[in-house]
Amino acid sequence: MRIDSLRLVCFSPTGRSRTVIQGIARGIDHGTMELIDITTPQARKKPLETSGNELLIVAVPVYMGRVPALLTEWLRAIRAHGTPAVSVVVYGNRVYEDALLELTDILTRRGCRPIAGGAFIGEHSFSSAEAPTAGGRPDAADLHRAEAFGRKIREKLEAIPSVDRIPNVTIPGCRPYRGDPTLWTVDFIAVGDACTRCGTCAEGCPTGAIDPDEGYSADPEKCITCCACIKHCPAHARTMRPGPVRDASVRLSTLYRERKEPEYFL
């Protein structure tokens, strides 16, 4: 079947899901493409509607083995009209549990026809130089796999006569989904003297949790512990205070050293 355009959707506080989806898009190599980054609250104000002549790819990070709960509202508002869709999850080398199945189910309920799914590895949000987990990933080998996945998606589409003839694709996972999407409410970020008040942290925060008038501190009620503000701070002024998140980063770095590899399902 012929696709007129490619719609790429990503939520990507620390940029790994975005890099993966761009790799997949390079493999598909379609001339007409739109990247819709729904990381900021502002971007999530605009709903998405897609047609049967487009290919939709959605990439999200795995949070607690699940699709991040703050995306539920936006994802549930998608109006897809028989759109072939690829679901992609990016996880920090621990486990993706049922997140890929959950994302595929959500897209199917919104009117998509799943044609493929992929689980890729991205540096863990809690990873640091002292306690690295999947540091530097996706790396060149991961992106090579992402491009190969993209080529396979294109070949599959070319072999399908029409949208109503898409064969079923088997995505691993169980229902009910195992992970608990509840995130920690924790005040874990220290803002050091190096802060120049440039505002980069507040601009990139996916929940609008950072208040310039409160010394750029993060509101624990809104913070989703994504660590984007720590990773994007140009002055390296934001660090993890001792406490549960820093403990988790050390634990992850010890327990999940063994490299996991991307998987895809077509």
Chain residues in the site for ligand FMN (CB under 6 A): 12-17, 61-65, 90-95, 122-125, 183, 225-226
Q: Please, what is the minimum distance in Å from the beta carbon of residue 155 to ligand FMN?
A: 27
Angle at alpha carbon of residue 103, lines to 55 and 30, rounded to 5°:
20
Alpha helices in 53-138 (DSSP H): 72-76, 99-109
* Residue nearest ligand FMN, CB atom distance: 122
Q: Please, what is the minimum distance in Å from the beta carbon of residue 63 to ligand FMN?
A: 4
Q: Please, what is the minimum distance in Å from the beta carbon of residue 52 to ligand FMN?
A: 28
Closest CA to 84 of 180, 158, 26, 178: 158
Q: Which is nearer to ligand FMN, 163 or 223 (CB)?
A: 223
Q: Which is nearer to ligand FMN, 84 or 92 (CB)?
A: 92
Local structure of 117: helix, strand or coil: strand
Buried b (16+ CB within 10 A) or exposed e, 44-54: beeebebebeb
Q: Please, what is the minimum distance in Å from the beta carbon of residue 138 to ligand FMN?
A: 8
Local structure of 60: helix, strand or coil: strand
Q: Please, what is the minimum distance in Å from the beta carbon of residue 121 to ligand FMN?
A: 7
Q: Which is nearer to ligand FMN, 104 or 225 (CB)?
A: 225
Q: Could you give the CA distance from residue 148 to residue 98 in angstroms, rounded to a whole number?
A: 23
Q: Which residues contact 240 (CB under 8 A, 6 or more apart)?
A: 126, 128, 188, 189, 190, 227, 230, 246, 249
Q: Which is nearer to ligand FMN, 50 or 125 (CB)?
A: 125
Q: Please, what is the minimum distance in Å from the beta carbon of residue 109 to ligand FMN?
A: 23
Q: Could you give the CA distance from residue 227 to residue 223 in angstroms, rounded to a whole number?
A: 9
Q: Which is nearer to ligand FMN, 142 or 147 (CB)?
A: 142
**Residues 172 and 101 sit within 8 Å (Cβ to Cβ):** yes
Q: Please, what is the minimum distance in Å from the beta carbon of residue 256 to ligand FMN?
A: 7
> Token pair of 27, please?
């493999």
Q: Could you give the CA distance from residue 140 to residue 147 in angstroms, rounded to a whole number?
A: 11
Q: Which is nearer to ligand FMN, 85 or 248 (CB)?
A: 248
Identity of residue 237? A
**Residues 88 and 120 sit within 8 Å (Cβ to Cβ):** yes
Q: Which is nearer to ligand FMN, 54 or 123 (CB)?
A: 123
